[in-house]
Amino acid sequence: MRKDDSEIIEISGFLGTTTNNVAEYAGLLEALSTAQMEGATDVEIVSDSLLLVQQMLGKYRVKHPNLVPLYERAKSITRRFPKFKIRHTLRAGNKDADRLANAALDRPERTPNDRWIERRRVDS
């Protein structure tokens, strides 16, 4: 997550055994919750999950019972932002997400639902 003041907030976590789609929604919900806590008003989500993006845009229906409550929660949070956009990128364009997922898996001490937040400054 990038803030206007050149700070990046990186969130990673360990979910335990779950599906990719549930993991994608967990990541979306974590990003939206953090954006809300940070007082964001203009939010753009970039995801390499075409299914998640199309569902959030209303182009695909959410059918799986495990995803419905996650989707509904995500939609509820997005309505609180004056400006919200979500778009798809190819996996090659989302290397930071892969790095964070691998970091969560590689942590020696992890339990389901652990999460780590790191803040770092970037040069503009």
Read off the CATH number of the domain in which 19 is found: 3.30.420.10
Interhelix angle for 68-78 vs 20-37, to 10°? 20
Q: Is residue 72 part of a domain?
A: yes
User: Which domain covers residue 28, as residue numbers?
Assistant: 7-119
Q: Is residue 124 part of a domain?
A: no
**Burial group, residue 112, by CB count within 10 angstroms (0-12, 13-18, 19+):** exposed
Q: Is residue 75 part of a domain?
A: yes
Q: Is residue 112 part of a domain?
A: yes
pLDDT of residue 36: 92
Please check the confidence at residue 124 and state whether its pLDDT lies above 50: no
Tokens of 88: 């798809």
The candidate with the shortest Cα–Cα distance to 10, out of 124, 114, 68, 96, is 96
Q: Is residue 103 part of a domain?
A: yes
* Residue 92 confidence class, pLDDT cut points 50, 70, 90: confident
Q: Is residue 105 part of a domain?
A: yes
Q: Is residue 2 part of a domain?
A: no
What's the domain count of the chain?
Answer: 1
The neighbouring-strand residues paired with 84 are 43
The candidate with the shortest Cα–Cα distance to 9, out of 78, 100, 71, is 100
pLDDT of residue 56: 98
* Residue 11 confidence class, pLDDT cut points 50, 70, 90: confident
Q: What is the pLDDT of residues 52-90, one digit of tens each?
A: 999 999 999 999 999 999 999 999 999 999 999 999 988
The candidate with the shortest Cα–Cα distance to 57, out of 28, 34, 22, is 28
Q: What is the pLDDT of residues 25-44, one digit of tens each?
A: 988 998 899 889 888 888 88
